[in-house]
Structure 1
Amino acid sequence: MGRTDRAAIRRGRRRRLTVGRRHRCSRPVRPPPGRPLLTVAAAPVCPLHSLEGEWRGERRQNTLPPPSARVTTFAMSTSYNRIAYEALEVCNGVTLATVKDAVARAGLAPGARAADVGTGNATVAIRLARTFGFATTAIEYDPGMAELAAGRIAASGAAVELVIGSAADVLADLPPLDLITALGTTNITGEGRPSPEAGFAFLKTRLTPGGYLLWGDLVWIAEPPAPLRQIAEATNQYTDNTGWKAAAETAGFEVVWSEISPQAVFDAYAAAADSAARHWLATNADAPEAASVQAVADRVKMVLEFGRPFIGFGLYLLKAPA
């Protein structure tokens, strides 16, 4: 399939799934507290999260938000990621306190424009808005995760805009940002499986001069066996701590600060996700999604247990040139 054909398909999906309209003025309309603005830009199936069932049901307009914001709700089938992310504070092997400390190091003032890419359960996006006072957009590729994020945002009362779509498309549609947080993202450039250098280079173009990127991802803490690397890098390319820093500098970033999560933090993340899945399976053995949830849970557990001596999580605060 050629590039033109793929572009046509993406346009078709976007037309089919768009509800309401994106606000493109210099001062985007923000919903009042308790009313998340959910914009459906696109909703393809995420290759990383492997949705175990197609979303189904009629799209319907929720009457709760103000006229300037429309919400689309979907009857989603349950997935391993949805189950696991409900049990986690941050959807990666890092603590929320560490993320907040890293953001504080940027020294950005309230009102700064921020985007949280791959928002998952929206914990980070909510903190960007409530703790720091940033004008925050949360971006999520997976409609099931977006449903979870919308509920969390509404419950928090945070003024966060939630957009369902690919990171590359949504970021290209936003004005330059003062901060991008991207923790455990996939296909950040829209090219499929970008190199660390390519991912950083793209994100730098979406920042204001002197803007910040808080990047977090898997890091090789020891040279992995070839089969483990092949499995882990099926959708993303990873590197070691030195490699992530070198890639950032190659893309033109200054590495302001970095930290590898302690092993206990990563272990707690893996255990919490697995425990949530096992509990759900024990109480929903007859659910139609049980087999797929079981398969994904077993696969994730196997990879993380075998990969424990090799896989960690790195967090990097990067600054674009002024």
Structure 2
Amino acid sequence: MSPSIEPTQELNAPEPEHCPGPESDLAGKEDACQGCPNQEICSSNTVKGPDPDLPLINARLSQIDHKILVLSGKGGVGKSTFTSMLSWALAADDSLEVGAMDLDICGPSLPRMLGAEGEGVHQSNSGWSPVYVADNLGLMSIGFMLPDPDSAIIWRGAKKNGLIKQFLKDVNWGEHLDYLVVDTPPGTSDEHLAVTTYMKEVGVDGALIVTTPQEVALLDVRKEIDFCRKAGIKILGLVENMSGFVCPNCKGQSQIFKPTTGGGEQLCKDLNLKFLGSVPLDPRIGACCDHGRCFFDEYPDSPATTAILDVVDALRDQVELDMTKLTLE
């Protein structure tokens, strides 16, 4: 049986900046509600108080040890590419059960990058079954539900939030999951607010932020960092992607995007964040993502492979260190 997306009441327009939310007792009454096209919808909503789906979400996510959000302030910095490589790297440890959740609703790319394009999810009494791209690596994406891979998803915020809630509530990852890696769209929009709100009680280990060296990317990354701090999301660290170019033939490295203001490492020093490392640009990474192959398996001798695995090790050390501190407390 194919899964269906729960119907969501359509809003007339995107929510204003300081929207209290339709579940709030102040929905339709706050200053931000005045003049909002959604005011009548929100004020007529008689279902107030706690979201009844939150206990179901908490129960589902309580079986997952570590939950990591992959964020970037700007598109095109390789966030989804790095998410796929992080998922492959974690799943390379046979003792771990890993899940990848693609919340880039308007541009789902993980199915292709992880070699699962054309697959479908199935619904049963226990929920939606993710697509397994390896024995210990499952994937959930709206890309599996589209009638055609070129179909555009033209949704307002409320419908996006409804799908994110279904992903968190209904996907059956099995009895236990060690890591859930969540790929998010660029920016600080509806999807980010929804996932942080729904996962607040069960807890998120933190965010991995991806950038490239040039200042035009760092401008938006600073906004992403500010979002994390305002939303109470711990920043596990920052990785600088496309930091130099690796020639596939001679293995030599050269700079393409010059870090005019010091790049990601200087940004981490300025904002007191952990710098997880730099990953050079190897054109074979793009080819592997296009064909759904694991870059590490195909090119283990590439400097990019060494750099990526070093970043993953540093990230795991950070997550497990935080877990140890929490246990001692």
Superposition TM-score, scaled by structure 1 size: 0.34
Superposition TM-score, scaled by structure 2 size: 0.33
